[in-house]
Amino acid sequence: MKPFLGLLKKDGMILQFWYMIWFVLSVGGMIIAFFFSKKYDEPLVTLPIIFFLFFFHLYLMPLMMMSMLRIEGKTQMWLHNPQSSYQLLFSKLCVVVGYQMISQLLVNLYFLLLYKWYFNEQIEQLFNFKFHFKHLLLLNGFTLATALYFTLWVIFLWTVYHSLSKYPALKHLRWLVIVLIIGAYHFLGYLFQKFGFNDYIFGLWRAEIYSNKAYENGMGLDAAMTPLGIPASFIFYYVILSIILFLVAGKLLDRKVEV
């Protein structure tokens, strides 16, 4: 356990500098947005920075992982680590997930504080919609899960790319192989969609979140909320695919080969 904790600490230190820059920029953006909202007496001016930060968190974790792997490839420190490839990769996953959760928590606190004491009336009047905490939980869960999925693809493609360096004939064609893998995956997805396999598989088991509901406000804006279901089979598919990506990446990671 102690060696793994040491690995976590080392990986955390790799990202610490760049993560602090991101943290400061995020806080700075929030403060600036709040300043302008007070200056022009328009609370909803703060919404764009909130939307941007939530959206960017879909890519924050993959970008952090790419940065860590790039640094590892330059320093070659991982070549001399006695721990298994799976532990090396899992440690990095734990670090980026932890950093991502802290960053998401910051944005959530900013939004909740503003919503409770600043712009809740404006949002409810504009959209005729009352915010519930479960909406935030769903949004954060989706954001974290999607970012983790993208991150596992980053790990998988990185290990494929560097494992191909052992083969002289493919060493200069590694980027082409990566492009072909991504293209083949999306082509298979297209075929599944074309022949209806996606609709069948993802429609096997759905959990409904919302019931039929309609909203209308005095500004002529209206909205209808139709039943929205989470396809459990869809989630199961991506969980299994994510596990496979991680297992294959660990298998491909040969610490005796320089990257």
- Domain annotation covers residue 194: yes
Of 154 and 14, the structure prediction assigns the larger pLDDT to 154
Whole-structure pTM value: 0.82
Average pLDDT over residues 114-131: 65
Name the residue range of residue 119's domain: 2-252
DSSP secondary structure code for residue 207 in this structure: E
Q: How far apart are CA 139 and CA 54, in angstroms?
A: 9
100 closest CA partner among 35, 148, 68, 33: 148
State residue 225's pLDDT score.
47
pLDDT band at 121; cut points 50, 70, 90? low
The answer to whether residue 202 is domain-embedded is yes
Give the per-residue pLDDT at 1. 64
In a domain, 259, yes or no: no
Is 86 within a domain? yes
Establish if 66 belongs to a structural domain: yes
Q: Please give the residue that has the higher pLDDT: either 111 or 199.
A: 111
Cα separations in angstroms, 82 against 7, 160, 255: 11, 21, 9
Evaluate whether residue 212 is within a structural domain. Answer: yes
Query: Above pLDDT 70, what percent of the chain?
Result: 75
Residue 258 lies in a domain: no
Alpha carbon 9 to its chain centroid, in Å, reads: 22
Number of domains in the chain: 1
Tell me if 257 is assigned to some domain.
no
Q: Over the stretch 65-94, which tens digit does the pLDDT of each residue have?
A: 999 998 877 766 665 667 788 888 999 999
pLDDT digits (tens, 9 = 90+) for 91-101: 999 999 999 99
The two tokens of residue 230 are 């989470």
pLDDT score for 189: 83
Pairwise CA distance, residues 246 & 243, whole Å = 5
